[in-house]
Structure 1
């Protein structure tokens, strides 16, 4: 059963007002701080230089996630103040616990990612640190919700997986940030629906900060999230999903917007391992990377990933009867599988169409446009 202790009595609409204030503050702070950090990153030499697997053509500053995280922290504070302005608040440790756990998780992973942006940490060291922080996230979640302690293992492992999946999917302009807009809005909605306003404030503030950052990342990238940003986003999704699960939200609903990241990453790494390749080495075999290589512009790929996340989220909400209600598992699972299967099959369909056009061009038609790297995408 969902932990109703998260609720703090407030006049109707107070929490909706708080999340709105937080999102707007995040938008403003995200834009200002991102614009301010770009010259700082350039002077510090924190630059992503293209390599063989990169999808961008020129050097671009990385580490924009620092601005995003700081903007999110400011936005959460503004959102809380906005909710307080909506009416008298009743003291509740649950709200402060959720806010503190969410922000500390995001900050901790962002700092780890920043370390990798600056010093290129060894893989084993990163994984160990991620595992420790993932376990901490899981312990905080079970402590806040009163969920069984055995959940620490799957929640911690899931956090490590999601942080890395988000990082792997941050390789083309706007893909990770565009997905973040959908995921943040979704978790804010679910959190308000089930009575976890602290999570709603965190997600609204983060979503606003991402919206402020996005114009600097797509369609032309003037700055990349870097590992500081992708780790922070992965931490946010891990915290949101874990808190929802531990609070009694059905699994299908708790993970819906994350399935596109998990599926692309999981199946791609599985294919590489099966073919004898080192799955952990850099590559260009994700679906979104193959689409860019086939000639799709970065913005189109970003819209595709965001649309798939939104579609899975819509299926989850349509299958759920709300707090305390059941989930129509069969139609929900089938609907999501259809979305994910369509996404995963796109490179093959695009490749077949391209091959057919090339056949026509050999008979006097014009040759198709090849995949040309744009000035963006970390690869």
Structure 2
């Protein structure tokens, strides 16, 4: 059966409304508890900004999800086929989904601790590694047609760590990380919906709605930041969204399909690679921040911070559209 568009729309709107409503609450809590980003070196804000974004986004994802599960359990959806389809999908992938959402909460905790106490890099990396390993153990893994268990575990953990840090690196201007996360989530949602992979589409739309709900507080002027908690969460979720779908299917047996995540996530991946290479060439540790990100270079070329972010969003949207267009043209 064709999955109803109304369910997708309700998922997106639910996450949006919860996130946009939760942010003021989390902002007050963060200010009360001193969880703020103070002005300082390489920062453009002149007053402390609460690091409430990650908590708002997670709330926007979890509350609609829990509500949907309650509705599903009560079987009050009028479409009997949809109820059966969702129940079957959740039951079949329940272990994977539980580990993913435990991992999402874990990423928030690691990021929150880093925001609050500035964790040593090795401690933060160790926490990321533990969560990435748990996801791989839950059978959320990459194979790339190489049926070797060691390779599968290794490439999956490397991918998750890479995406977490890529989005952490991109959280350097108002709205940049949030917008890139929303664009990528939107494309994963579209592609998964076209392919009939409704659970992945629902996860992507939850993420999209939650990020869009936070975005007005973060761009163009910021009254709240994602913080490390938020950037860790966004990177983790997008890493998982890139692994969960089966892009290469009997319905669409095209070799380029496995490259879909690289198109959708090209901008944060490209920025990460360039920055690591630049820092390495200067003899700096790759985890020490600087002003060599794409956004900073665009500002040095004369763009305003706002226009630099808009240009990077547009670049991500254009590159991410490639696999969607290829999928539609092949169908």
Q: What is the match of residue 359 of structure 1? A: none
Tell whether 2:236 aligns with 1:241: no
The structure 1 residue matched to 2:23, chosen from 34, 41, 51, is 34
Tell whether 2:176 aligns with 1:187: no
The structure 2 residue matched to 1:139, chosen from 137, 140, 144, is 137
Q: What is the match of residue 165 of structure 1? A: 166
Number of residue-to-residue matches in the alignment = 313
Q: What is the match of residue 312 of structure 1? A: 319
Q: What is the CA-CA distance between 1:251 and the residue it aligns to?
A: 2.4
Q: What is the match of residue 125 of structure 2? A: 127
Contact 1:105 1:239 in 2 (8 A): no
Q: What is the match of residue 155 of structure 1? A: 156
Structure 1, unmatched stretches of 5+, are: 1-10, 327-379
Tell whether 2:298 aligns with 1:291: yes
Q: What is the match of residue 50 of structure 2? A: 61
Contact 2:189 2:201 in 1 (8 A): yes
Contact 2:217 2:223 in 1 (8 A): yes
Structure with higher Rg: it is 1
Give the secondary-structure state (helix, strand or coil) at the position aligned to 1:222. coil
Contact 2:248 2:257 in 1 (8 A): no
Matches within 5 A, 1:177-326: 177-244=178-245, 250-320=257-327
CA separation in 2, counterparts of 1:129 and 1:99?
20
- Compared CA separation, residues 134 and 247, structure 1 to 2 (3 A): farther
CA separation in 1, counterparts of 2:192 and 2:96?
11
- Compared CA separation, residues 58 and 76, structure 1 to 2 (3 A): same
Contact 2:57 2:211 in 1 (8 A): yes
Q: What is the CA-CA distance between 1:30 and the residue it aligns to?
A: 0.6
CA separation in 2, counterparts of 1:136 and 1:58?
39
Give the secondary-structure state (helix, strand or coil) at the position aligned to 1:309. helix
The structure 2 residue matched to 1:86, chosen from 79, 98, 111, is 79
TM-score by length of 1: 0.75
Contact 1:76 1:201 in 2 (8 A): no
CA separation in 1, counterparts of 2:211 and 2:291?
25
Q: What is the CA-CA distance between 1:295 and the residue it aligns to?
A: 4.4
Tell whether 2:2 aligns with 1:12: yes
Give the secondary-structure state (helix, strand or coil) at the position aligned to 1:250. helix
Q: Once the two structures are superposed, what CA deviation does each residue of 1:188-231 show, in whole Å capped at 9, x if it has no partner?
A: 11222233221111111111111110100011100000111100
CA separation in 2, counterparts of 1:34 and 1:308?
28
CA separation in 2, counterparts of 1:263 and 1:126?
23
Give the secondary-structure state (helix, strand or coil) at the position aligned to 2:225. coil
RMSD: 2.7
Contact 1:253 1:320 in 2 (8 A): no
Q: What is the CA-CA distance between 1:140 and the residue it aligns to?
A: 2.2
Q: What is the match of residue 343 of structure 1? A: none
- Compared CA separation, residues 38 and 67, structure 1 to 2 (3 A): same
Give the secondary-structure state (helix, strand or coil) at the position aligned to 2:289. coil
Give the secondary-structure state (helix, strand or coil) at the position aligned to 2:244. helix
Contact 1:19 1:205 in 2 (8 A): no
Give the secondary-structure state (helix, strand or coil) at the position aligned to 1:184. helix
Contact 2:187 2:324 in 1 (8 A): no
Q: What is the match of residue 176 of structure 2? A: 175
Q: Once the two structures are superposed, what CA deviation does each residue of 1:52-95 show, in whole Å capped at 9, x if it has no partner?
A: 22233332111321111011111234456489443343342225
Contact 2:141 2:153 in 1 (8 A): no
Contact 1:65 1:232 in 2 (8 A): yes
